[in-house]
């Protein structure tokens, strides 16, 4: 996320070393020849963050990656919890669930690792972990974990909705996006978004999203573990 500053710091340090060597060892005082002028320009670019707009795409891509990793992690937690529940026969709601499967699918699931049946269940139920509503519903209905809705969840909802327009709409704030986040309040980031503007995340906003995702995952794991170890 600080790619522009890191590049400029390397450039400044390199030219600064050359400048000092030319002045001290070669005793070249002409700023056009000893690198002083170039060093001044590079420092100005670094201090004024002139290159920051050119690297803004990296910040938005950080949100895309965060949302993808978050969804994948939640799915892994759900698959593990589902497998553990089925192994312990501890969830009556799971045992009573009906699935339409072929014999081949059932044999394949049972012949794979212990997560095979869980994966088959998730596939047949068409479970999605791409948005918070689907995530919370899956854990509530099939694991018995209730997750509340607060600013932490709302920050993630905002990130998920923005990820979609960054990938599929060139980052444009569409009416659909505004509808998706209208109820995601209170939240800590982007409380004011204008229609048809372009989404641009700052480093601080990305850190806020990452911290929200981490808090959510920690709470989700803690609640899931309590459900799994609780007596039948």
Same domain for 46 and 134, yes or no, is no
Same domain for 42 and 61, yes or no, is no
Token look-up 């995952």 returns 217
Residue 60: C-alpha distances to residues 56, 137, 164, 166, 222 (Å)? 7, 28, 11, 7, 30
What distance in Å separates the CA atoms of residue 40 and residue 46, rounded to the nearest whole number?
10
In the chain, which residues have pLDDT < 50? Answer: none
For the chain, the domain total comes to 2
Q: Is residue 202 part of a domain?
A: yes
Residue 202: C-alpha distances to residues 31, 45, 189, 206, 209 (Å)? 37, 19, 10, 6, 11
Same domain for 147 and 77, yes or no, is yes
User: Is the separation of the CB atoms in 4 and 10 below 8 Å?
Assistant: no
Q: What confidence tens digit (pLDDT) does each residue in 84-104 have?
A: 887 765 555 666 677 787 778
Q: What is the pLDDT of residue 223?
A: 95
Q: What is the pLDDT of residue 201?
A: 94
Q: What is the pLDDT of residue 232?
A: 53
Q: Is residue 108 part of a domain?
A: no
Same domain for 61 and 152, yes or no, is yes
Q: Is residue 194 part of a domain?
A: yes
Same domain for 138 and 210, yes or no, is yes
Q: Is residue 103 part of a domain?
A: no
Mean pLDDT of the chain: 86
**At 198, is the secondary structure helix, strand, or coil?**
strand
Same domain for 46 and 60, yes or no, is no
What distance in Å separates the CA atoms of residue 150 and residue 200, rounded to the nearest whole number?
23
Q: What is the dihedral of CA 61, 62, 66, 67, to 10 degrees?
A: -30
Q: What is the pLDDT of residue 42?
A: 86
Give the structural domain span for 21: 3-50
Q: What is the pLDDT of residue 231?
A: 58
Q: Is residue 180 part of a domain?
A: yes
Q: Is residue 111 part of a domain?
A: no
Q: What is the pLDDT of residue 158?
A: 97
Same domain for 142 and 37, yes or no, is no
Same domain for 86 and 9, yes or no, is no
Same domain for 173 and 62, yes or no, is yes
Q: Is residue 26 part of a domain?
A: yes
């Amino acid at each position: 996320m600080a790619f522009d500053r890191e590049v400029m710091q390397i450039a400044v340090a390199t030219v600064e070393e050359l400048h000092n060597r030319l002045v001290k060892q070669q005793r070249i005082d002409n700023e056009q020849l000893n690198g002083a002028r170039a060093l001044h320009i590079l420092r100005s670019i670094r201090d004024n963050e002139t290159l920051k707009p050119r690297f803004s795409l990296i910040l938005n891509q950080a949100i895309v990656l965060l949302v993808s990793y978050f969804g994948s992690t939640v799915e892994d937690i759900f698959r593990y919890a589902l497998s553990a529940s089925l192994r312990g026969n501890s969830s009556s709601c799971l045992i009573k669930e009906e699935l339409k499967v072929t014999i081949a699918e059932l044999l394949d699931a049972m012949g794979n690792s212990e997560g095979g049946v869980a994966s088959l269940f998730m596939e047949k139920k068409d479970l999605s972990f791409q948005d918070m509503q689907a995530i919370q519903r899956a854990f509530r209905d099939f694991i018995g974990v209730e997750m509340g809705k607060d600013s932490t969840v709302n920050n993630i909802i905002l990130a998920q909705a923005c990820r979609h327009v960054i990938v599929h709409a060139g980052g444009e704030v569409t009416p659909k996006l505004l509808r998706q986040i209208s109820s995601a309040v209170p939240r800590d980031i982007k409380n004011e978004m204008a229609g048809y503007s372009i989404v641009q995340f700052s480093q601080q906003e990305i850190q806020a999203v990452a911290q929200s995702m981490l808090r959510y995952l920690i709470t989700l794991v803690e609640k899931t573990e309590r459900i799994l170890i609780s007596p039948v």
